[in-house]
Chain A
Amino acid sequence: MSVFDEVSELLQKGKARDIGAVVQKALDEGVSPKDILTKGLIAGMNVVGVKFKNNDIYVPEVLVAARAMNAALTILRPALSAAGVEPVGTAIICTVKGDLHDIGKNLVKMMIEGTGINVIDLGVDCAPEKVVEAVRTSNANVVCLSALLTTTMMAQKDVIDALVEAGVRDKVKVMVGGAPVTQEFADQIGADAYTSDAASAAEVCRAYFD
């Protein structure tokens, strides 16, 4: 098995501890950090995404895989920047004002990171002004909004309105999601995209950077 397959496999199994050691060893042996990222981690995360969409695996398995991804990235990141490998781009994510659910948001965040995008996480109960501020001060191209309550869905619209008001709506694509959100609702509030699961969210988000 190639070292890339090994990394991919460990990621899929969610072996956060083992994957760090394997990545470190590969780096020590002079393997290109970019290849470890794309052929190992991102490839592995792709498999996870497909299985998740097919309902073969569920939230807990995706979460442990994502944690393994994080563990690997912690070790890989310095090597990546030393080699001049830049992230594909930047996205902003948060749970909207009034809502404290963050499991879905975290999953989306990790799946997006799994495509090589840098994600700024503004946390939960996030006011529209905070998002506007982050769009202004970062070079993010995508804003992802999560809402789990029927009562906080409308807060996604508040963010879009705030972006328009601040004159930065054109700078970013806005993606919305969360259990009560639908494509119809997304269209209604003028979002650019909606997906029902984290794997598709990562795909759509990644496509914005092509």
Chain B
Amino acid sequence: MILIHNKNRRIESSDGGTVLSALIQSGVYVPAPCAGLGICRKCRVKILEGSVRGDLPDAAGYVRACKAFPTGDLVIDIPEAAFLGNEVDKILAHDGRPVRRAAVALDIGTTTVAACLLDADSGAVVDTVSFLNPQSVFGADVMSRIHQCGEGRLASLCRVIREEVDSRLQALKRQCGVDRIANVTVSGNTTMLHLFAGVDPVCMGRAPFTPAFTDETVFCGADIGISADEVRLFPSVSAFIGGDVLAGIAAAGIADDPNKTTLLIDLGTNGEMALSVGGRLLCCSTAAGPALEGAEIECGAGGVSGAINGVTERDGALKFTTIANQPANGICGCGLIDAVAYMLKKGYIDETGACQTDAADRDFDGERLHFTQNVYLSGRDVRQFQLAKSAIKTGIDILIKQAGLSGDRIDEVLIAGGLGFFIDKDNALSVGLLPKNFSQKLHMCGNLSLLGATKYLTNEVTPAALDRAKRLCEVIDLTADKDFSDLFMDNMFF
């Protein structure tokens, strides 16, 4: 038996299982981005009473839940920031008018799921809600989830997402006084669509990365446990160019005008991008990694309250802001970009990313930039950031090259993804995440995948338009591009 002291909750410990598996089985979700490999240290819990084997408690009494096996009864604390829960939930107010027949657009992201409820008769948006994808306990990125399916957990991954979606839909229905949800459109990356459909994604786990399906798929809600008449999944292009990319292309209409050159970038773990030029649509996935979502960063955090989301210099001193103005407990993606830009500006790191020990001062000890005693950015974190930002920048360079363009010829650059809205443009340019000559062309668009799914419900995006975009997409294989490695190296510098 395990007592979660700070939640005042008792759970059974599973026979011979880890603390993490006991938590998952009881529906207590803590983040485990590395899926139990023991690398990321994000699932740490504090042992108050009892003992474990498999992992030694650190000085403060914390162990990795994924490596610790209870040797008897335990009393633990789970760090507040670690609860995957209500923190990102935001429900916009609606005017309370009853809706008879609703339609819901859904964007299933690897980390966050967003839903938008419309009045099916008028097409008006009634409410929007977002919540964390409960599959996160099976790993942060799509590959970890695919790996879990290879270990026989497809049914669990499918069940947790469908159950979570359905319970959110029912809550939305209640809140908005809806009698019935007529249809749901689901956008998401190819892996998320497979998992929601209950189709095995393992063939996307290794080269040649073949999806089991890419066509639009329709379910009867009752068959898959979703309280809606009909559930429609967006089509995808390939294993790493998913329905979310198609939704974004269609929502922003980037392929509509052949005389306009537009680049669409999703600043997320997979870093998908699409370039529309002269009637062509070139796309690629740059595999930036989860650094911009806080994983792989020692004090990294998602967009939870208390995460540092902005860093500036005021009167020569380090100043930072946190989400919801709570005491700092980690650094999220925008905070990371700002912090690296700050370190560059102050000369704490040079243009190669190396820490300058002789630049040490009150905030910087030669290796770490300290925000508080426990929250800092380390030299190793800067290196992780360099990999991520270089992957994005290199993807952009290669798309532009393969289209035979120069960066100046691009008319518009659309930044999608949750991070987009909050990012400091100047810092994103100064750290080289985006090319400098994009500065006047950047438009932050937020969640285009959700917008695409919503527009589908209002017929502003048609099945024909999606199909056209799907057929137009030329997927650029970055592995096959001889210049990738050299550019990737160059772009790592600042």
Interface set of A (CB-CB < 8 Å, partner B)? 55-61, 63-64, 97-100, 103, 106, 125, 149-152, 154-155, 180, 182, 184-185
Contacts and interface: CB of A to CB of B under 8 A. Distances in A.
Given A56-B354, A106-B485, A149-B143, 19 more contacts: A55-B354, A55-B380, A58-B352, A59-B489, A60-B489, A99-B206, A99-B207, A100-B207, A149-B205, A150-B35, A150-B139, A150-B147, A151-B147, A151-B205, A154-B150, A155-B206, A180-B34, A180-B39, A184-B38
Nearest to A96: B206
B161 to A, nearest CB: 19
Contact of A60 (B146, B150, B493): B493
Contact of A55 (B206, B383, B387): B383
Contacts of A184: 38
Contacts of A64: 489
Closest 9 CB pairs of A and B: A98-B206, A151-B205, A60-B489, A150-B147, A100-B479, A150-B143, A151-B147, A150-B144, A98-B207
A58 B386 contact: yes
A53 to B, nearest CB: 12
Contacts, number: 68
18 contacts: A55-B379, A58-B386, A60-B352, A60-B490, A60-B492, A64-B489, A97-B206, A98-B207, A100-B207, A149-B205, A150-B146, A150-B147, A151-B147, A154-B150, A155-B206, A182-B37, A182-B39, A185-B37
A39 to B, nearest CB: 27
A151 B380 contact: no
Interface string B221-248: 0000000000000000000000000000
Nearest to A184: B38
B29 interface: no
A82 B460 CA distance: 74
A58 B354 CA distance: 8
B488 interface: yes
Contacts of A125: 207
B353 interface: yes
B355 interface: yes
Nearest to B205: A151
Contacts of B206: 97-99, 149, 151-152, 155
Contacts of B479: 100
Given A63-B489, A125-B207, A151-B206, A55 B355 contact: yes
Interface string B342-354: 0000000000111
Interface in B427-455: none
Given A60-B493, A99-B207, A151 B143 contact: yes
A156 to B, nearest CB: 13
A64 B485 CA distance: 12
